[in-house]
Amino acid sequence: MMAQDHKNKGGLRVLRAADRAWAPSRSGRHLLAGLFGTPERVARCGQPIESAPSGEILVETKRLILRRHGPVDHPVYFNMYADPRMARFAGRAPAGPDEAWTRLLRQTGHWSLFGYGFLAIEEKATGCFVGEAGLAHFRRGLGTEFDSVPEAGWAIAPWAQGHGYATEAAAAALQWTEARFGMRRTVCLIHSGNASSLRVAEKLGYTPMGECTYRGYHAITFERGAAVMV
């Protein structure tokens, strides 16, 4: 069936997976054994995804596909968050398989409560899982001015960093969510030493709100209004 795609003002293509022919990645059609495999058993660029869940809404950019997470993502999700480099600015230890699974459940469950949330990011050219980005309510206990509005976030696997994927994916997720839900203001929280993430926030139009201590590290809070084009 031909894909039914729609373009918003920013030129992003939004498709429904039921209407889209999903091609396997170049790394093959094999499935990794077990949901709780170790990071060493997962390919460098991630697990090939056979198909997307029926009815899932996809946001498509020039190089990336943003879709909702599913159980099949757990091996690569674990692989990404078990890497010590991903925990450097998170104020927590690298994730074990159970923590990665719980986090994946949180991402999927957020959609049932709010109708939006974080999206899994796939590289168009390869079908590889490269990370996640989106908006969510994390209730960090930082005060009403911060906790009462959606918080943006992005995370890119170490092997895929340095290509501008975080900015591209986060901009698409923000544009899709703000346009669909009419959000006027969003926020984000970034470790003060995370220079690359601070650059992404600046590119996305976020401006500093203040500073705080979160999970024992010094962080900067940011805010932005809707319709900031990247």
Is 189 contained in some domain? no
Residue 118 to residue 100: CA distance in whole angstroms = 14
pLDDT by residue (tens digit) across 94-121? Answer: 899 999 999 999 999 999 999 999 999 9
Coil, strand or helix: which one is 186? strand
Instruction: Collect all residues with Cβ–Cβ distance below 8 Å to 22 and sequence separation of at least 6.
Output: 49, 50, 51, 52
Is 146 contained in some domain? no
Q: Which two tokens stand for residue 149?
A: 């509005």
CATH code of the domain containing 74: 3.40.630.30
Is 14 contained in some domain? yes
pLDDT bin (cut points 50, 70, 90) of residue 130 is: very high
Is 100 contained in some domain? yes
Q: Can you give the residue range of the structural domain that contains 98?
A: 5-134+153-182
Whether the predicted pLDDT of 36 surpasses 50: no
- pTM of this structure: 0.77
9-18, 168-177, 187-196, 212-221: the lowest-pLDDT one? 9-18
pLDDT by residue (tens digit) across 37-84? Answer: 333 323 335 444 444 443 376 799 999 999 999 999 999 999 999 999
pLDDT at 159: 95
